[in-house]
Amino acid sequence: MKKMILVFLVSMLLISGCTFKKSPPFEDPKMTYCETDDDCTLVSISSCCGFVAVNKEYKNKVKSVPMVCEMYCPKEARCEKNECTLFDIGIES
């Protein structure tokens, strides 16, 4: 029973860390500017669920870290109103 509670709590923590949709503000607005979805990419900024959506041309300007639990936080970067934005894509079963 303790293992089930621990698994549940860890799962909720991981899921709750994946709820934001907007990328954080960057000093240079070009970093998130886009015209199509193909202009955007994800960059991992923390080890679990910490993504930002940026223009592909600027992805090397964001300090990235290895992703260790990507399966819990399926995201993709899309262009919305000329800004790269995070979207949940759900977990396929």
pLDDT averaged over consecutive 10-residue blocks of the chain (93 residues)? Answer: 55 44 68 96 79 90 71 83 89 53
**pTM listed for this prediction:** 0.64
Residue at token pair 């399966």: 71
Residue 91 pLDDT: 58
Residue 73 pLDDT: 74
- Chain-centre distance for alpha carbon 47: 11
Residue 63 pLDDT: 79
- Chain-centre distance for alpha carbon 66: 13
